[in-house]
Chain A
Amino acid sequence: MKQFAKHLAFATLADYVDGQLAEPARAEAERHLDTCATCRATLASVQRMTAALLAGELAAAPPVTVAQAVKLFRPLTRAAPESKSPRLSLLALLRFDSGAAPAFGLRGDPGAHLPAQQMVFSAGEYDLDMRIEPLGDGWRVVGQLLGGEAAGAADLIGAEHRYASKLNELGEFGFAAVLPGVYQLFIALPTVDLVIPELRVGA
């Protein structure tokens, strides 16, 4: 194997990195590397690439987690492909937050009045009045849409659980027995979607 061209062949370097070069080729390669900055740079890049190939530290996310992230986009793409005006999607901004409801307290006591967390979001012409309170083993999440048309559906989507509700004629919707976690709330109205990208329930 000819080692004394101007630089070491890529194959030689690859073999060297993997400890596949037998003597005397290995010793010859090392002698060359001692004197050649270019080959040392190539060696470093091959070592980095090989280390990345071997490391195996990238875990695949659980399929349900990936699926949930993919679904985040769906409510934003209700427009038919040939529709000229894409469906509007509005991000709801938090305007008021009373603070998180306590996770632990006098549960199951019918006389106990537990403070709920109240939040108000706004998106365009809409205000969204939300309330989160502990209920039994889970949480109740209720909301009311104020302003504009109030017919539609609401979806609460988390990493592992998903809840659906419909808006009544007063624009109210609710989810019962919600498990603690971080959720996205999507409200699909006739011509627009509202999105709360992060709603912490009991978390």
Chain B
Amino acid sequence: MVQSDSSLIDACRQGDAAAWEALVLRYQRLIYSIPSRAGLDEQQSAEVFQSVFARLIEHLHKLEQPDRLQAWLVTTTKRETWRLLRQLRQHTAAGSEISTDDEAAQEVPDHQPLPHEALQRLEDQHLVRLALEQLDARCRRLLALLYYHETALSYTDIATELGVPSGSIGPTRARCLQKLRAHLDQVGF
């Protein structure tokens, strides 16, 4: 069964490296996507990523509400993203500090940290991904084909892929979505 964030935090506090790894893997997309969608490049987003997890290690024993880890992580990521954006702007403003090297002169991303709605969308996608992982293999596969495939697949294509009658796709999809929704309800989606 899937361990809750609280339970993983507890395990980390006991020195369980596997629990730490599970936490990092659970949140890696969300933490990376926040700076990335705010306009930071891969290296800059990776910096934010490392800072956030370093701060989490720092705060592991001090977290007052381990069950609100997601909110803590999102807040910390927003803050770190904003810090880096501000620093980059200051470097650009200093003008003469930037060399004529093309790479150094690349534009500073001109974005504000993500607006609330965009963050909410990312968090929704994160929760949906987590909920998907809790479904049985058949539902996971079906929903992945329906929603995560690069090209839109018809019910017939999907039916062929899964080796089931195409008439069963619609009702199965509805059942799987309902299960997904039940998991999401549990986390207050």
CB distance from B140 to the nearest CB of A (A): 12
Docked CA distance A20–B155 (Å): 11
- Give the contacts of B15-50 with A (CB-CB under 8 A): 15-17, 20-21, 24-25, 28-33, 36-37, 42-43, 45-47, 49-50
Question: Is the pair B51, A198 in contact by a Cβ cutoff of 8 Å?
Answer: yes
B189 pairs with A68, CB closer than 8 A: no
Is the C-beta of A59 less than 8 angstroms from some C-beta in chain B? yes
- In contact, B173 and A182 (Cβ under 8 angstroms): no
Q: Which residues of B contact A52 (CB under 8 A)?
A: 121, 124-125, 127-128
A62 to B55, CA, bound (A): 20
Residue of A nearest to B53 (CB): A69
Known: A49-B177, A76-B15. A61 touches B97 (CB 8 A): no
Q: Which of A1-42 contact B (CB under 8 A)?
A: 9-11, 14-15, 20
B180 touches A66 (CB 8 A): no
A: residues with CB less than 8 A from B are 9-11, 14-15, 20, 45-46, 48-62, 65-66, 68-70, 72-74, 76-77, 79, 86-87, 91, 103-104, 158-160, 181-182, 184, 195, 197-198, 203
Interface pairs (15), CB distance under 8 Å: A10-B174, A10-B177, A10-B178, A60-B32, A61-B28, A62-B42, A62-B46, A65-B28, A65-B46, A72-B50, A72-B54, A73-B17, A73-B20, A91-B58, A104-B99
